[in-house]
């Protein structure tokens, strides 16, 4: 009886794995060249205030600037 349970268990695992593979097959695919050009376009059009050597100083619109509150060595107390 134990052998039958093992066979059934293995069959169920194979069927589950097959189903997951079918689901992955249905996922939309993007070519590497298209994905890399989309990434380059995003990086060139989105300002990153953590890279001032590329975008220059952040200025007053910097979302990482402490607004109000008391700063004490890295932590913010509002």
Note whether residue 34 is domain-resident.
yes
Domain that holds residue 9: 2-47
Note whether residue 58 is domain-resident.
no
Note whether residue 63 is domain-resident.
no
Q: Say how many domains are in the chain.
A: 1
Q: Which stretches of 1-78 are assigned E, i.e. beta strand?
A: 70-72, 75-77
Is the pLDDT at 72 greater than 60? The verdict is no
Number of residues that this document lists for the chain? 78
Is the pLDDT at 68 greater than 80? The verdict is no
5: left (phi over 0), alpha (psi -120 to 50) or beta: alpha
Note whether residue 36 is domain-resident.
yes
Note whether residue 56 is domain-resident.
no
Q: What pTM, to 2 d.p., does this model score?
A: 0.44
The whole-chain average pLDDT of the chain stands at 82
Mean pLDDT of 61-68: 63
Q: Is-contact 78 69, C-beta < 8 A?
A: yes
Note whether residue 15 is domain-resident.
yes
Note whether residue 30 is domain-resident.
yes
């Amino acid at each position: 009886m134990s052998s039958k349970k093992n066979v059934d268990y293995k069959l169920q695992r194979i069927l589950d794995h097959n189903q997951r593979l079918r689901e992955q097959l249905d996922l939309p695919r993007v070519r590497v060249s298209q994905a890399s050009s989309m990434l380059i376009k995003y990086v060139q059009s989105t300002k990153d205030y953590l890279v001032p050597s590329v975008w220059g100083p952040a200025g007053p619109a910097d979302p990482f600037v402490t607004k109000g509150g008391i700063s004490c060595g890295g932590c913010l107390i509002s």
